[in-house]
Amino acid sequence: MRSDTLAHRLREHFDWPLFIAAVLIAVLGVVNLYSATSVYQGARSELYISQVYWLVLGGILGGVVVVVDYRHLERLGYVLYGFGVTSLVLVFALARDVRGSARWIDLGAFKYQPSEFMKIFLVIALAKYLHDDPRSEGRTLRDLAIPAVLTAIPAALILRQPDLGTATLLSLVFVSICAMTRVKLKSILLLLAAVGPSLWFVWNYVLLQYQKDRVTIFLNPEADILRRGWHAHHARVAIGNGGLFGNGFMKGTQNQFLFMPDQYTDFPFAVYSEEWGFVGTSLLIGLYTFLVVWAVRIASQAKDRFGAVLGIGCGAIIFWHAAINMGMVSGVLPVVGVTLPLFSYGGSSVTTMLLAVALLMNVSMRRSAGVPTFDRP
Amino acid sequence: MSLVSQRSDVTEFRRRFKWLALAVVLAFLGIATRLFQLQVVESDENRATARENIVRRVTLATTRGIIRDRNGKVLAASRPSYNLYVVPEKLDMVGTWPKLASYLGLGVDERARIEAMLTQLRGDDTGAGHGRKSQQILLKEDISRDAVAALLTHEAELPKVEVVPVPVRYYPFEEVGAHVLGYMAEVDADKLGQLRSSGYVEGDRVGVTGIERAWESYLRGTRGWEKVLVDAKGRRRAGGEGIIEDPRRTDPIPGRDLRLTLDADLLKAMEKAMRGEIAGGIALVDVRTGRILGLYSKPGFDPNALSGGSGKQVIRDAFRRLYTDPLKPALDKTIAGAYPPGSTFKPFTALAALEKGLIDPRATQMCKGALSFGKRSFRCTHVHGAVDLHIGIAESCNVYFYRLAAEAGVGMDIIAEMGQRFGLGAKTGVGVSAEAAGRMPTRAWMTLRNKGQFRLGFGLNAAIGQGATTVTVLQLALAYAALANGGTLYQPQIVRAVETSAGTVVQEFAPRVRRQMDLRPENLAMVHKALVAGVNQVGGTAYRARLTGVEVAGKTGTAQVSHRLTRGVENDRVWYFNREHAWFSGFAPTKSPEVAIVVLVEHGGAGGKHAAPIAFEVVRAYQELTRERGAAGRAAAGRGQGRAAGADPRAGSPPAGAVRNPLDPPPQGAP
């Protein structure tokens, strides 16, 4: 009986638009990786194959997540959060330095990047908190204190790695979720007033020199093209070199002539833009727009508060990643290490994004309250 | 149940979803707008930048023209010099270095020195040295051909080792002809400022002296360029169609080759003839054309060492030697050095007297070994007894010429005028090196120099080519050529033709007459006869040095040197530098002369003893070479093959434009 119900649910409620949008992005990503890494010899030229493995593995993991009703996660919310924070603490003890920053825990077969998964865990924890704390009137700052602390703990740990991009991302996910809730006008004004002083504080006491450099380079892009401004400058040139229709697959000169370091992790969008032009970038942006708006739609149709926050949180993860990555590659934001969802190479990144899509699918499939649930007899 | 329904109350969120969706759409629209700006609006600029990133214009080297002698022998050419470059950081000191050292054939000391340098560079992590260890350094310059072959054979075992060929000027005859040919040096900053507009760049070599300098613009050639694709690491990439705009390439134009009038074999003969002396110069000129067959200056230098290829240290050492040697090897003694001609000037004094009709050539004067004039006694070499003009020249009697000046009214101005007509005391315009003018002092000039006092004694000295009179070896050779050919003074010529690298003659230079002197043939014949006697008649100053079978006419000279050396110099040096210059000037053969020769041996002593034998050796070499080539040319002509290799049929006969010698018998068929 149970399997019948599951099969039925999969058939009736499977969110095809969500699935197709995610698959299209992933396919474009793999094709693009093939071109991006074609400039290398040896193992790095075959990263697109690893990416396929990661997508399959993440897909299986996502499938498991889809099958289990998301409300189980509600119960496990703080446990998962605690696991995530513990992993982040472990990073300091176990992690290896990669380019001066310790982000990975080596698990032998693969490297696990706790900060990536922390994004999901944080969304779940925030969803649980808001689920348990319904309000009919506007929230005050005090009401937001606990979710803020929930965000601040992992964000601070990640900032210590140091990984400014991910820390910022956690904060933005928190802000996005807050944007859903009803907050008192006075509190909003107070928060806005605090923005200036806190930026000053962060700049002077939190940011490291190389992080500040990225901001100054962003403000004055042509000052140091040969060293610190290299990435930003050449990415911008690559995008522009694509023109309206692009140079064609495998024909982007900026990439083929090695002007694009990190073209498979943080800058694949530049390679893609150069090869496919404005037509191609419009398609990709369209796909991301659809995916995120669809996530908002899923959230809006969720049958409970937990599902709604989960949907918005996952949508926010995808949105901020996409917006920040494309923004930094095209030179409207400073360079921070934020990947393009399902497009950039990276096991932890791909898995996290697939988990976010799976959670969206999960919420989407269980939106109508009338459908009997298979796991709650 | 109510708790569950309240907990699932999503009304708090409901109104905000559409605003969130709107915010998302606007944000992505913003990014799309930015991409539109980059990819559509600013697309052209970005495409141009991307193209500039990968397209490099590389210059294509040109080859400098080859300088050949009149028979086609190469006097100056370019050869590849192989330089070895490594990046210290990337060199495997355990695996690669020992092999590299053995293929290079490094000695123990050199190996240790280079190894120490590499180790030091590799170990240097400080800011200053950090750049150098990751940059390519020149490990060894101008490695031998054997080493190049070994390195290329074992290329696979030697990663990160690069052999780069650079063209270096090569002078196969080394010291022979060095002064005329000149040498090359890297262009310095000052000069580069002037030359940049002509396409010179840092590190270019430019002719500094001699023909290399004077004909630089012909020899140099024009660089070409080619646009190529280069990646961000500076590596060349193939392809480029559709990326590189046309034109993609301009071929380099090789420099023009020069055909000189010089004869390499004669230069070698001059070098050989001068082996017994340490300093001096020789000029051999074709009397029918003014073409210079040989110019030789001693001591010389090896232009190969100065022109680079063997390293900066070798260049520095060579320059130090060049400019510290008291014998002045840098000075071209034939062109840039002015010397008192001594007795070799006497024929011109005689001609001046004859042309003015001031003397009877058959009248004799008594030579008692000296002439008292005023308070001074003017000395002769020995007691000549009764001397007429013929003997005065042939046996070089000073007293006879003193008397011309003192008693016959052959004044300084008359002498100077005749000298000037023969081109003495003025630049010849040979145009290859800085030229000395020399001096034909006039009465006015002497008065001025002597603070308004003119003494008749000055004229006596001028009559025998002493005092303030100075000439260059080349001037004297051209003047003797004019004596030999009946009074035609030629423009000296050293470059005969400009040719393309394929051998086509672009420009050929005909002989140019500088002055046709209107001298009476009987006067010229009289001097001519006296010059023949100077070598071939008993008592002639060069009689003892004559060689059988070598027919020469000429005049010796032993020119006193003004005492210039200061105290504090070693005695033997004082002795050497105060010794007379030995001269011989003449022409050969005596009937229908072909060449004029002048030999100067600096501080050599008596001209008849030290200069004349050298001149005869050179003339003998000339005669032998002419005979050989004539035979070879006839043989080739007999076989009907036209021009024989190594022999120019025009070399032996006077070319068009040459003036017929009035002293020669008229040609057959002439009226």
ipTM: 0.93
Q: Which is higher by pLDDT, B642 or A277?
A: A277
Per-residue pLDDT tens over the stretch B180-228: 999 998 888 888 888 888 888 877 888 989 999 999 999 998 888 888 8
Q: A232 vs A221, A226, A229, A336, B33, CA distance in Å?
A: 7, 11, 6, 11, 18
CA distance A331 to chain B (A): 9
Per-residue pLDDT tens over the stretch B453-499: 888 889 999 999 998 999 999 999 999 999 999 999 999 999 999 99
Per-residue pLDDT tens over the stretch A334-373: 888 899 999 999 888 999 999 999 999 999 988 765 444 4
Mean pLDDT over B412-424 rounds to 94
pLDDT band at B657 (very low <50, low <70, confident <90, very high): very low
Q: Which of residues 183-212 of A touch B (CB under 8 A)?
A: none
**pLDDT surpasses 90 at B158:** no
Q: Cα torsion for A79, A85, A91, A93, to the nearest 10°?
A: -90
Chain A with chain B: Cβ pairs closer than 8 A: 148
Mean pLDDT over B26-35 rounds to 96
Q: Which of A237, A278, A302 sits opposite B35 (nearest CB)?
A: A278
Q: B553 vs A112, B355, B519, B594, CA distance in Å?
A: 104, 21, 20, 12
Query: Which pLDDT does position B125 carry in this prediction?
Result: 61
Query: Which pLDDT does position B648 carry in this prediction?
Result: 44
Report the alpha-carbon distance of residue B302 to residue B296 in Å, rounded: 13
**Contact between residue A239 and residue A274 where contact means Cβ atoms under 8 Å apart:** yes
Inter-chain CB proximity B12 and A182 less than 8 Å: yes
Roughly what angle, to the nearest 10 degrees, separates helices A164-180 and A145-159? Answer: 170
Inter-chain CB proximity A304 and B24 less than 8 Å: no
CA atoms within 13 A on the CB side of A62: 22
Inter-chain CB proximity A180 and B39 less than 8 Å: no
Which chain A positions have a beta carbon within 8 Å of B54's beta carbon? 253, 257
Identify the closest residue of chain B to A178 by CA–CA distance: B13
Q: B241 vs A35, A250, B47, B237, B247, CA distance in Å?
A: 20, 15, 15, 12, 12
Query: Which pLDDT does position B655 carry in this prediction?
Result: 46
Q: Which of B16, B22, B31, B243 to probe by mutation at the A interface, max A CB count within 10 Å?
A: B31
Q: What is the 3-state secondary structure (H, E, C) of A194-254?
A: HHHHHHHHHHHHHCCHHHHHHHHHHHCCCCCCCCCCHHHHHHHHHHHHHCCCCCCCCCCHH
Cβ neighbours of residue A267 closer than 8 Å, sequence gap 6 or more: A231, A235, A260, A261, A329
Tokens of A257: 């002539």
**pLDDT surpasses 90 at A41:** no
User: DSSP characters for B516-551?
Assistant: E----HHHHHHHHHHHHHHHHSTT-TTGGG--TT--
Identify the closest residue of chain B to A277 by CA–CA distance: B39
Per-residue pLDDT tens over the stretch B282-314: 999 999 999 999 999 989 999 988 887 666 778
For chain B, what are the domain ranges? 58-170+222-255
**Contact between residue B62 and residue B250 where contact means Cβ atoms under 8 Å apart:** no
- The CATH code that applies to domain B58-170+222-255 is 3.90.1310.10
Q: What is the mean pLDDT of chain B?
A: 85
Query: Which pLDDT does position B524 carry in this prediction?
Result: 94
Mean pLDDT over B446-451 rounds to 90
Q: What is the 3-state secondary structure (H, E, C) of chain A?
A: CHHHHHHHHHHHHCCHHHHHHHHHHHHHHHHHHHHHHHHCCHHHHHHHHHHHHHHHHHHHHHHHHHHCCHHHHHHHHHHHHHHHHHHHHHHHHHCEEECCEEEEEECCCCEECHHHHHHHHHHHHHHHHHHHCCCCCCECCHHHHHHHHHHHHHHHHHHCCCCHHHHHHHHHHHHHHHHHCCECHHHHHHHHHHHHHHHHHHHHHHCCHHHHHHHHHHHCCCCCCCCCCHHHHHHHHHHHHHCCCCCCCCCCHHHHCCCCCCCCCCCHHHHHHHHHHHHHHHHHHHHHHHHHHHHHHHHHHCCCHHHHHHHHHHHHHHHHHHHHHHHHHCCCCCCCCCCCCCCCCCHHHHHHHHHHHHHHHHHHHCCCCCCCCCCCC
Report the alpha-carbon distance of residue A238 to residue A273 in Å, rounded: 7
Share of chain B above pLDDT 90, in %: 46
CA distance A123 to chain B (A): 16
Tokens of A308: 């709604």
Identify the closest residue of chain B to A290 by CA–CA distance: B25
Query: Which pLDDT does position B568 carry in this prediction?
Result: 57
Inter-chain CB proximity B39 and A281 less than 8 Å: yes
Q: Which range has the worst mean pLDDT, A178-187, A252-261, B156-165, B640-649? A: B640-649
Q: Which range has the worst mean pLDDT, B233-237, B399-403, B496-500? A: B233-237
Mean pLDDT over B257-266 rounds to 95
Inter-chain CB proximity A134 and B13 less than 8 Å: no
Query: Which pLDDT does position B195 carry in this prediction?
Result: 84
Per-residue pLDDT tens over the stretch A292-316: 999 999 999 988 889 999 999 999 9
**Cβ-count burial of B269 within 10 angstroms (0-12 exposed, 13-18 middle, 19+ buried)?**
buried
Q: B78 vs B169, B255, B265, CA distance in Å?
A: 4, 11, 21
Q: Which of A134, A240, A282 sits opposite B6 (nearest CB)?
A: A134
pLDDT band at B333 (very low <50, low <70, confident <90, very high): very high
Which chain B positions have a beta carbon within 8 Å of A299's beta carbon? 13, 17
pLDDT band at B571 (very low <50, low <70, confident <90, very high): low
Report the alpha-carbon distance of residue A218 to residue A235 in Å, rounded: 13
Mean pLDDT over B390-412 rounds to 91
